[in-house]
Amino acid sequence: MEVRWDILLIILGAALVTFVPRVLPLMLLSRIALPEWGVRWLNHVPIAVMAALIGQEIFLRDGKWSPFTSNIELLAALPSFLVAIKTRSLLGTVIVGIVTVMALRFWFI
Amino acid sequence: MSQEHIPMETLAATRGDDTFLKGVKDCIPTLLGYLSIGFAAGVVEKTAGLSIAEIALLSLVLYAGSAQFIAAGMIAAGGSASAIIITIFFINLRHILLSAALSPFFRHLPPFRNMLIGSLLTDETFGVAINETARRKQISERWMHGLNITAYLNWFVANLAGAYFGQWIANPEKYGLDFALPAMFIGLLVLSMISRNRFVRDGVVALSAVILTVAISLVFGSNLGVIAATLIAATIGMVLERWK
């Protein structure tokens, strides 16, 4: 049950740089009114950020292009998308994704 | 978002919808999904050499899924503290956009109470909250706390469970556990696109974000990819809307 000093430093530092972007816009923008175009721009952020994260996870490996011939994540993304669209269940999507990756790694690697 | 402009019948109809307990309830559909991701994160953190106490601290103080996966990976690879913190800063910079997108609904609150709402903001609670605003135009502070605190406790329990079972799992990738996070993002993206019901516009934004992330990451490094792609893709969405 020990916490090492260097790990504690990493955790606190990471927590601080995460906390500030989380709270600052809510705190400041409650003082200032956003212009109408700003509100409409923000409306597109959720879709953009989710898609960007998916793109990073699926097409890149350690910051480099992940070749199609060995891209298990891309193969597993297809049934995950289908299950999400068909069932609208987050749990179902996650389980199908995990099981597909597990099966593909079992057979191909 | 002052309440005095809302007709009385609307207020009466939504009164039961903005309690703390309703927030807890609205969090439930995401609990199992995040339980599995938190479990996977706990396993990955444990196999990266972190102690149970360190994992507990990480999930309570940092409380950010993708950042925790990345921290575990970099700690296992022997990354320096500054490199890890800077990487996590860039990964989590997207919260600026989520926090800003929620701000119109809490404009009536003083800064400190907005800070409390923002401190537990995640992709998941944001996704639930923004879907809720699409459904009934406004959300309350109590509802938001119910949602946030439920997700927070669920995440903590999931991390600890993963850390505990991680003792017996040598290679979490073999079981596909690292795919829990991208699968969750896929589910959240699909669910929000379905509830927004603007498939062409949102599809163009999503596709641009994917292409831009890959292109920018390959040219300028992956720290910048997600944030720059989000900024540009959201702008594309705004411009598309204007031209229609």
pTM: 0.77
Calpha distance B132→B137 (Å, rounded)? 7
Q: Give the pLDDT confidence of A2-28 residue by residue, as tens digits.
A: 899 999 999 999 999 999 999 999 999
Measure CB to CB from residue B81 to each of A10, A50, A98 and give the nearest one: A10
Domain boundaries, chain A: 1-32, 35-108
DSSP string, B77-143: TT--HHHHHHHHHHHHTTHHHHHHHHGGGGTTS-HHHHHHHHHT--HHHHHHHHHHHHHHS---HHH
Q: Give CA B93 to chain center in angstroms.
A: 12
- The set of residues, in sequence order, having a beta carbon less than 8 Å from that of A39 and lying 6+ positions away, is B104
The pLDDT of residue B33 = 78
- Asked if residue A46 lies in contact with residue B126, where contact means CB atoms within 8 angstroms, the answer is yes
DSSP string, B226-237: HHHHHHHHHHHH
The pLDDT of residue B223 = 66
Task: Report ipTM for this prediction.
Answer: 0.86
Nearest to B142 by CA among B45, B14, B46: B14
Q: Output the tens digit of pLDDT for each of chain B's 244 residues.
A: 444 444 443 443 455 678 999 999 999 888 887 888 899 899 989 999 999 999 999 999 999 988 898 889 888 878 888 888 988 887 788 888 889 989 989 989 999 999 999 999 998 899 889 888 888 888 999 999 999 999 999 999 999 999 999 988 878 888 888 898 889 889 889 988 998 889 999 999 999 999 999 999 999 876 678 888 989 999 999 999 887 6
Calpha distance A18→B85 (Å, rounded)? 9
Calpha distance A62→B107 (Å, rounded)? 40
Q: Give the pLDDT confidence of A64-88 residue by residue, as tens digits.
A: 899 988 899 999 999 999 999 999 8
The pLDDT of residue A24 = 95
Inter-chain CB proximity B119 and A23 less than 8 Å: yes
Calpha distance A67→A5 (Å, rounded)? 40
Determine the straight-line distance between the first and last CA of chain B, rounded to whole angstroms. 28
Inter-chain CB proximity B57 and A85 less than 8 Å: no
Compare all CA atoms of chain B with the CA of A7 and give the residue at the minimum distance. Answer: B54
CB contacts < 8 A (A, B): 324
Measure CB to CB from residue A105 to each of B50, B71, B174 and give the nearest one: B174
The pLDDT of residue B88 = 87
SS3 B18: coil
Calpha distance B62→B110 (Å, rounded)? 24
- Asked if residue A103 lies in contact with residue A76, where contact means CB atoms within 8 angstroms, the answer is no
The pLDDT of residue B7 = 43
Q: Which of B28, B190, B232 to mutate to test the interface with A (most CBs of A within 10 A)?
A: B190
Inter-chain CB proximity A47 and B192 less than 8 Å: yes
Inter-chain CB proximity A80 and B229 less than 8 Å: no
Measure CB to CB from residue A50 to each of B185, B218, B221 and give the nearest one: B185
The pLDDT of residue B8 = 41
The pLDDT of residue B12 = 39
Could you say which DSSP state residue A33 is in? P
